[in-house]
A and B are shown apart, each in its own frame.
Chain A
Amino acid sequence: MTAPALDRLVGYADALPSLPEVVTYLVRALRDENADLETLTQHINSDPAIVARLLAAANSASTGVSKRVQSVGQAFMLLGADRVVNIILASSLIYRYDERASGFSAPLLWRHSIGVAICARALAEQAGINPELAFIGGLLHDIGRLLMYTASPGHVLKALDRRQHDDIPLIAAERAVFGYDHCDAGRVLASAWKLSPDIVDAIAAHHEPDGYGNEICDLVHIGECLCHALDLGELQNNRVPDLSELACAHLGLSWPKFASRFAEIEARFDDFRLALGL
């Protein structure tokens, strides 16, 4: 059987659970400077499952807060808005898409995505670019893999086998099996989910950002390479993808200088993994 064609992939997007409403709201609110904490809290409170996970994460060992966090408002006060928003985004995605099969594990994919999100965020902070957008781009960069798995798990496992056997990059293995890769599939799903154009591009371009002229694309691409380089998430057959000279030049990135933040990135990653139980 042949793999589903790229233009038919969007038909499988319905088989994936839709993004929780609060996540779509948060993605919009992060771009809107007028969004206030009260409205944000109301939206979060509209989804009891998300409130439960936020409070669980806020009370987990990693936060070390001795007083129990009992409300969303308290979580904002104790952890800060950035951290609350990121915990909600990450935990709602992880719990909603929890596919596991031999050779494919969504939790592993999320662990890697959190790593990329944290790297992209730190790079954005350094470059003076919106760090939350970079975080979301990193968190969502591999969603194309979920869509491909939903459309045809057999072909995904075949591509993973091929990567392992020939020791080639995943996108090369996917192209050989599907005729396209998870960046193309990610663009399809991100467009179906009506994510912002920046994020759609960042997902589509995370392996080849040149030509997009979009800072979020550059950040997610470099974040991906850095996440592999720092071995975050204990990936099988980890190999650092090729790194775009142009993307690094756009951000004025100097690795010897940026290396002073490696330790902080590793600590943030550990913190997130603990909070999310990944």
Chain B
Amino acid sequence: MTNKQRIMCLAPARAAPGMVLDKPVYDREGAVLLTAETVLDPAMFEQMIRRGVKAILVRVPDNRDEETIARELVDIRARIETIFRGPGSAARSELRDAVLDYRIESSR
């Protein structure tokens, strides 16, 4: 078992106490609500929700082995191929590449 961590994007209501913020949280006016590296507690969830925070980036332990990660990447590529099947504009191809990069990045 390694101490590898992965970054996940969650709605504040989905986060759990003890998770660590990877990026600072801003409110709707752009003021810093919580700084990076803050360890979350339940009072903070409520504060974020009240201030209209939609999503936060947290670090969680990553227990996946290399084989699992590789398998996930194969599935991701296959899914993108499937939903983007058939011909389309250059803009559609750009969208496909952006979604593929995003999925690969999020699975690492």
Contacts and interface: CB of A to CB of B under 8 A. Distances in A.
A38 interface: no
A240 B90 contact: no
B11 A267 contact: yes
A78 B45 CA distance: 13
Given A255-B94, A258-B98, A271-B13, A242 B89 contact: yes
B83 A262 contact: no
A266 B14 CA distance: 13
Contacts of B9: 263-264, 266-267
Interface in A207-254: 225-226, 228-231, 238-240, 242-245, 248
Contact of A243 (B10, B54, B85, B91): B91
B84 to A, nearest CB: 5
B95 interface: yes
Interface in B41-56: 45-46, 49-50, 52, 54-55
Interface residues of A, number: 37
Interface residues of B, number: 36
**What's the dominant secondary structure at chain A's contact region?**
helix
A64 B12 contact: yes
Given A229-B96, A229-B99, A259-B101, A83 B89 contact: no
A76 to B, nearest CB: 12
A66 interface: yes
Interface centre among A65, A228, A243, A274 (most CB of B within 10 A): A243
Given A226-B95, A267-B9, A239 B85 contact: yes
Interface of B: 9-14, 28, 45-46, 49-50, 52, 54-55, 57, 79, 82-92, 94-99, 101-102, 106
